Amino acid sequence: MTDCNHSHLLVRDIEPKGKGVFAARNFSKGETVASGRKVRILPQRTPHSIQMDFDLHVLIDEPAVLINHCCQPNTGVRNNPWGGYDFVALIDIAAGDEITFDYETTETEFSAKFQSACNVSECRKQLCGFFHLPTEVQKSYGEFIADYLKAKARN
């Protein structure tokens, strides 16, 4: 089972995002950085929910719920046994780096227009959902997307 002790993560206030999650130590590619456990099932999509299936939106616990979006993230998602996601390092992560994931790897669509503020060179600016991603971006995440999306991903 995945370790849910998050002493290796720090939560800090950052502008303009609000809060963010940061590495308190180095992580190697393939290592589980954080685990988000389902706190409750929500009746519909919200700005703070995470999608687990086509008609299932949940709230996950801290610090995972505070992990911000990036179009070039350092973690990807993997379903876990607690009804949420593990956030797995896609690259080596240094202590002090913000932990990020691509929100479009769990969401089919968003409850409102979502503007990315990640400011990376590959920033997609407006996020629409997994099925709007270019095929090469979908494929780049490999196994690190929500399980329910894998069967419908473009090959």
pLDDT in tens, 41-50: 999 998 889 9
Q: Which of 5, 33, 54 is nearest to 152 (CA)?
A: 54
Classify residue 126: in a domain, yes or no.
yes
Instruction: Decide if pLDDT at 82 tops 70.
Output: yes
For 38-41, which contacts have Cβ atoms below 8 Å and span 24 or more sequence positions? Answer: 38/82, 38/83, 38/84
The total number of structural domains that make up the chain: 1
Q: What percent of the chain is modeled with pLDDT above 70?
A: 94
The overall average pLDDT reported for the chain is 92
Domain that holds residue 130: 9-149
Classify residue 16: in a domain, yes or no.
yes
CATH number of the domain that residue 78 is part of: 2.170.270.10
pTM equals 0.92
